[in-house]
């Protein structure tokens, strides 16, 4: 076993400090997790040796031992085949194999064709694998090389709520967009993943960050008629009148889609019904063109005028 620093661990003192004196049957895994904050290494890079030099496995009980030796291991040389083995196991939800590979110990951040094990696990919705890889200190924002998509982005893209929650708890960047593409919040809005949107907003995702054409989460939701997401975004103080590059506002999209319910919600939020796009067309004129009576009636009856504020 090639290792770094070695330290003696008097188990009785540790058990007393951890409050384990009355319950001595804790597994080795639990002790390693407590030691992580002291030694700075995950349990996968720790080895605990018994008094006779035998290596204790993570599922072994601590009962019966008086003193252990802690050895900290460095990552070994990893071939492309070994890196691919971990990526494949993560993609295919093989938790037992992922555990074995991480115990080599193997760097969890090695990518294959630009994809890390964490990215693949998040993409395929492998919750238990994501949890294991994060425990092994996998980088939360390790991106796919071709478009810059992160594990959080693909979790939001495919509605993997609990994976998104784990990644955010691990400090993933909630606003990191893909190259020439949308943010995690915009992609969740596009797919009408209400609970994912709620989670991102609770984690202070930027409700006004735009995609390459200037589109916002609110304009996306308004164009698609996703009323519950629209309400969530407005509650999070999304800019109701923020236009994309061609001047189209969320209200314009709602009028274009003849969606009276969305129009009403936006007007109640005091959206500007007179704000025109680059070619001079306003939401009101769009509604007249569409000849949607309910939408036109709402616009004409709504008395708020932002120019008088």
User: Can you state the angle between helices 117-124 and 127-135, rounded to 10 degrees?
Assistant: 160
Pair 76, 106: CB distance under 8 Å? yes
Residue 133's CB is within 10 A of a number of other CB atoms, namely: 30
Bridge partner residues of 7 (DSSP):
70
67 φ/ψ angles, rounded to the nearest 5 degrees: -145, 135
pLDDT for 104:
94
Pair 32, 43: CB distance under 8 Å? yes
Length reported for the chain: 309
pLDDT for 27:
82
CA distance 229 to 237: 13
User: Which distant-in-sequence residues (6+ apart) come within 8 Å of 219 by Cβ?
Assistant: 242, 243, 244, 248, 249, 250, 253
pLDDT for 37:
85
Buried-state track 190-222, b at ≥16 Cβ within 10 A, e below 16? bbebbebbbbbbebebbbebbbeeebbbbbbbb
pLDDT for 220:
97
Pair 177, 211: CB distance under 8 Å? yes
pLDDT for 64:
67
CATH topology of domain 77-206: 1.25.40
pLDDT digits (tens, 9 = 90+) for 223-236: 999 999 999 999 99
- Start-to-end CA distance of the chain, whole Å, equals 74
CATH 3.40.50.10190 fits 6-72, yes or no: no
**HEC per residue, the chain:** CCCCCEEEEEHHHHHHHHCCCCCCCCEHHHHHHHHHHHHCCCHHHEEEECCCCCECCCCCECCCCCEEEEEECCCCCCCHHHHHHHHHHHHCCCHHHHHHHHCCCCCCCCCECCECHHHHHHHHCCHHHHHHHHHCCCCCCCCCCCCCCCHHHHHHHCCCHHHHHHHHHCCCCCCCCCCCCCCHHHHHHHCCCHHHHHHHHHCCCCCCCCCCCCCCHHHHHHHHCCHHHHHHHHHCCCCCCCCCCCCCCHHHHHHHCCCHHHHHHHHHCCCCCCCCCCCCCCHHHHHHHHCCHHHHHHHHHCCCCHHHC
Give the domain ranges of the chain.
6-72, 77-206
pLDDT digits (tens, 9 = 90+) for 10-55: 776 666 656 665 545 568 888 898 889 888 999 999 999 988 889 9
User: Which distant-in-sequence residues (6+ apart) come within 8 Å of 237 by Cβ?
Assistant: 207
pLDDT for 208:
97
Residue 137's CB is within 10 A of a number of other CB atoms, namely: 17
107 φ/ψ angles, rounded to the nearest 5 degrees: -60, 120
Q: Which residues of the chain are under the pLDDT cut of 70?
A: 1-6, 12-26, 64-65, 303-309
């Amino acid at each position: 076993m090639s290792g770094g620093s070695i330290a003696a661990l008097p188990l009785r003192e540790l058990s007393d400090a951890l409050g384990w004196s009355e319950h001595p049957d804790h597994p080795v895994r639990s002790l390693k997790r407590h030691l992580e904050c002291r030694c700075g290494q995950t349990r996968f890079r720790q080895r605990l040796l018994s008094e006779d030099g035998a290596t204790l496995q993570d599922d072994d009980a601590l009962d019966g031992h008086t003193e252990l030796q802690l050895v900290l291991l460095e990552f070994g040389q990893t071939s492309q085949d070994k890196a691919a083995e971990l990526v494949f196991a993560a993609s295919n939800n093989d938790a037992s194999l992922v555990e074995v590979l991480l115990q080599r110990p193997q760097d969890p951040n090695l990518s294959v064709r630009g994809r890390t094990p964490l990215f693949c696990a998040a993409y395929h919705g492998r919750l238990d694998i994501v949890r294991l890889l994060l425990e092994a200190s996998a980088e939360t924002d390790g991106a796919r090389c071709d478009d810059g998509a992160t594990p959080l982005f693909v979790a939001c893209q495919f509605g993997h709520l609990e994976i998104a929650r784990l990644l955010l708890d691990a400090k993933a960047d909630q606003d990191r967009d893909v190259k020439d593409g949308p943010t995690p919040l915009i992609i969740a809005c596009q797919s009408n993943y209400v609970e994912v949107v709620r989670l991102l907003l609770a984690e202070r995702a930027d409700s006004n960050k735009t995609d390459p054409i200037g589109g916002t989460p609110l304009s996306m939701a308004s164009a698609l008629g996703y009323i519950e997401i629209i309400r969530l975004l407005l509650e999070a103080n999304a800019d109701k009148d923020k236009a994309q590059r061609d001047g189209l506002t969320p209200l314009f999209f709602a009028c274009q889609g003849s969606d009276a319910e969305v129009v009403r919600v936006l007007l109640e939020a005091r959206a500007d019904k007179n704000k025109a796009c680059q070619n001079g067309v306003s939401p009101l004129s769009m509604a007249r063109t569409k000849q949607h009576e309910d939408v036109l009636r709402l616009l004409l009856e709504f008395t708020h005028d932002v120019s008088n504020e």
